Amino acid sequence: MVDTPTLEVLDQGRWVRLLRPHNGFPQAWGAAWLREHCRCAFCTKDRRDSIPIIDLQTPIQVTGLEVIGSTGLRFEFSDGHNRGIFPWAYLDSLDQYPKFSALSGLQPG
């Protein structure tokens, strides 16, 4: 079955919204939150060493994204980081759609 995801970067890059046909409901994640939860080797090491992943003074936006087949998504962030691949199951566990609806003022599509 072809399950082509529909991805939108919203609110000047602060949110990513995803619709996967097999799910039938939208999901959303905040850019800063995604950046903070990157699971690449570099970010994992920084977290282990208690080094902050993001600078709270600098807003983070998603500047690009790529579907990695059945694996998941790779995001590019405004701080230049683009190494992390977010597996679908991991993204499912991080769904922030209720927060997205409450904070963004954007209407669910």
- Tell me the C-alpha distance between 9 and 18, whole Å: 9
Positions touching Zn ion (CB under 5 A) are: 38, 40, 43, 84
- Tell me the C-alpha distance between 10 and 74, whole Å: 17
Cα–chain-centroid distance for residue 67?
A: 12
CB nearer to Zn ion: give 51 or 103. 51
State the nearest-atom distance from the C-beta of 74 to Zn ion, in Å. 10
State the nearest-atom distance from the C-beta of 39 to Zn ion, in Å. 7
- Tell me the C-alpha distance between 102 and 26, whole Å: 14
CB nearer to Zn ion: give 30 or 84. 84
State the nearest-atom distance from the C-beta of 21 to Zn ion, in Å. 29
